[in-house]
Structure 1
Amino acid sequence: AIALFSYVVLVHGGTQLALKTLATGQLTPALGLEMGYIYFCLPISGALMIFYSVIFAYERVKQLMSGEALLTDTQLDQ
């Protein structure tokens, strides 16, 4: 679910937003940079979220396949 959200909203939508903003040539008032470059943080962060979600899912499946006991929140508190 996180990977799907990250792709649809952040990667795809963020890329579209950044490209449209680059086409307008809008500048930041203080730095004078094009806003499109600032908006590219959205697809980059979305790609990182997908990357780490895949790593977490892989680790979780590896734990389940090896038969390791998964700790619950109550076990962690003790």
Structure 2
Amino acid sequence: MRAQGDERRFIQALILLAAALHKRWKMGSVTHRNFHKAAAYLDTLPGQYGGVDLVALRAGVWAALNAEGQRPQIARART
């Protein structure tokens, strides 16, 4: 079984956000290539998807990439 459509883009965005954080925290990389790839997927999705507030998640990851010691939280979508 393979994810398709919005579900696939959602999963790909989450993987790329995790990769961006990993590269920053473990390798000290200050490039944001994976973040920008994830943002392209997030741009195709609504602000809330799969029970996650994607707007808050994106902002949290961006802040964590640019501030030492900051960790993003997965914000639950409001219902």
User: Structure 2 length as normaliser, TM-score?
Assistant: 0.46
Greater RCO, CA 8 A, separation 6+: 1
Which of the two has greater strand per residue?
2
Report which of the two structures shows the higher radius of gyration computed on alpha carbons. 1
Which of the two has greater helix per residue?
1
